[in-house]
Chain A
Amino acid sequence: NAGVMQNPRHLVRRRGQEARLRCSPMKGHSHVYWYRQLPEEGLKFMVYLQKENIIDESGMPKERFSAEFPKEGPSILRIQQVVRGDSAAYFCASSFDRSPTNEKLFFGSGTQLSVL
C-alpha cells in the first residue's frame, strides 16, 4: 500500500479557489482510480483512468471536477471553484490489471481537503 503516493496529505482552500490533488501509482501500474469519502459516508468511486485516457467517469460530478493521467507524471484530480461541500477525503488506488480484483487494487493514504 505504501507504493501509492498521494499528496498533499492535507489541503486547505477557500471557497472559489482551485484544488489539485496528486496521485502517483505503484511502480508498473497504469490504471488509476479516484474515490471520495464525504463526512460520515463511505468511499464512493469517482473516475477510472488509464494512461492518457478516461475509462469510466460515471461517479464524477458533472461540473467543476476533472481528472487526468498524463503519459508522464502523476494523476491529477482537479476541483475548480471549490465549495464547502467538496470538503472530503479523496483516495486514489492503482492496479496493474485493467479489471482488477480487490486483492489487486492498492490504495493511497488519501488527501483530506478542507474548504473554508
Chain B
Amino acid sequence: AQSVTQPDIHITVSEGASLELRCNYSYGATPYLFWYVQSPGQGLQLLLKYFSGDTLVQGIKGFEAEFKRSQSSFNLRKPSVHWSDAAEYFCAVGATGGFKTIFGAGTRLFVKA
C-alpha cells in the first residue's frame, strides 16, 4: 500500500540551528515526492518537489530535500532556521502528483530563540 511516514510529530530547534525533517514512503514505483508547509492561519504551500533527475532538490525559503531510493526517504533540510519557519510540514507522495497526492501526518516545527 502507498503510504507516507513522518516519524517526528514535533521538533524544536534553536534559531540559527540546522534542521532535518524525516520522511519515509512506501510506493510501488518511483514516486513523485513533495514537501508542503502550513504556517499558522494559512493554507498548505508547496515548498519543493522531486520528479526525476538530481536527487537533491532546492525549494523556496532556503529549503532543500534529498531523495534516497535505497532508504525510501525524502528528508527536508535547512542549514539555518529562522523563527518564521515555525509551522507544520507535510511530506507527500503520488504517482503523478496532483489532487490524489498522499500526505503524511505532518511534523510541527517549533523554533526557540
Contacting pair B105 A40 (CB below 8 A)? yes
Q: How far is the CA of A41 from the CA of B5 in the complex (A)?
A: 9
Question: From DSSP, what is the main secondary structure of chain B's interface residues?
Answer: mixed
Residues in A with CB closer than 8 Å to B34 are 102
CB distance from B49 to the nearest CB of A (A): 6
Q: 0/1 per residue, A54-87, Cβ < 8 Å to B?
A: 0000000000000000000000000000000000
Q: Does A113 contact B (CB under 8 A)?
A: no
Contacting pair B44 A91 (CB below 8 A)? yes
Contacting pair A2 B99 (CB below 8 A)? no
Residues of A in contact with B, size category: 20 to 34
Contacting pair B105 A99 (CB below 8 A)? no
Most buried by A among B90, B99, B100: B99
Q: Name B's A-contacting residues (CB within 8 A).
A: 4, 9, 32, 34, 38, 41-46, 49, 90, 92, 97-106
Can you list the 6 inter-chain pairs with the closest CB atoms, starting with the nearest?
A: A42-B103, A107-B43, A1-B43, A107-B44, A43-B103, A102-B97
